[in-house]
Amino acid sequence: MLGQGRDLSKRTLQPIQKSEGVVMNPRHSWLVVGILLMVVGCTKDRPTPFRDEQLGIAVVFPGEPISSRFSEPTPFGAIEWYSRSYRPAIRMDQNFQVDVGNLPAGTRGGSTPGEVVVTYDKWLRQRLGKVDREELPAEKGPGFSYHAVSPAGTHLFGRVLVRRGRLHRAEVEVPKPQDPRAKAFLDSFEVLP
């Protein structure tokens, strides 16, 4: 119990003795953790093909993607997104993500794929400010590619397509605009027929 005559203020941390006789100083444990984080953070990406017939997409991620579902308010109404993403270990400024969501019933935000693309573009500009946009070729669209700088200073590259009443988007967030993984990821993104 505290305060029963023992002066704990003069107590110092003693090395921890392991059963094998190895002495581990607690102050050095942070160094070990730091080295482990560096090793994990410096591992090479392993390109991982991903194909989902139900979502109607194919893409090659730089590493093993994880799946998630989330809902997001949009100009079309709330969309529930089915998502796959890959974030390299210890890199909060990098993300590779593909989302597919059914457009809500009705004509809010557009009644044709072209109108939906225009509405999405306006919404993107409201959220990100300046957006450089390029139309996709007719055989890949309707949709567009874009580049913007996020409020955090990272570069966002993406593609948005409308097919079969669904929005398909692929987006990459990287610290430098010349990251070859961003181009490889977006070039591999395909909405299946």
pLDDT at residue 139, rounded to an integer? 86
Residues 57 and 107 in one domain: yes
Calculate the average pLDDT of the chain.
84
pLDDT at residue 36, rounded to an integer? 46
Q: How confident is the model at residue 20 (pLDDT cuts 50, 70, 90)?
A: low
> Tell me, what CATH number does 99's domain have?
3.40.1000.10
Residues 22 and 48 in one domain: no
In a domain, 3, yes or no: no
CA dist., res. 19 & res. 16, Å (int): 10
Residues 113 and 182 in one domain: yes
In a domain, 1, yes or no: no
* Distance, CA of 79 to chain centre: 18
pLDDT at residue 182, rounded to an integer? 95
The number of domains in the chain is 2
- Give residue-wise pLDDT tens across range 92-136: 889 999 999 999 988 898 889 999 999 999 999 999 999 999 999
Residues 118 and 151 in one domain: yes
Residues 34 and 50 in one domain: no
CA dist., res. 157 & res. 175, Å (int): 11
pLDDT at residue 2, rounded to an integer? 47
In a domain, 86, yes or no: yes
In a domain, 113, yes or no: yes
In a domain, 117, yes or no: yes
For residue 64, pLDDT beyond 60: yes
Residues 142 and 164 in one domain: yes
Cα–Cα separations (whole angstroms), residue 17 to 14, 23, 33, 83: 9, 5, 19, 47
In a domain, 170, yes or no: yes
Q: Are 54 and 69 in contact (CB under 8 A)?
A: no
Residues 58 and 104 in one domain: yes
pLDDT at residue 11, rounded to an integer? 52
In a domain, 111, yes or no: yes
Structural domain for 32, as ranges: 8-40
pLDDT at residue 141, rounded to an integer? 81
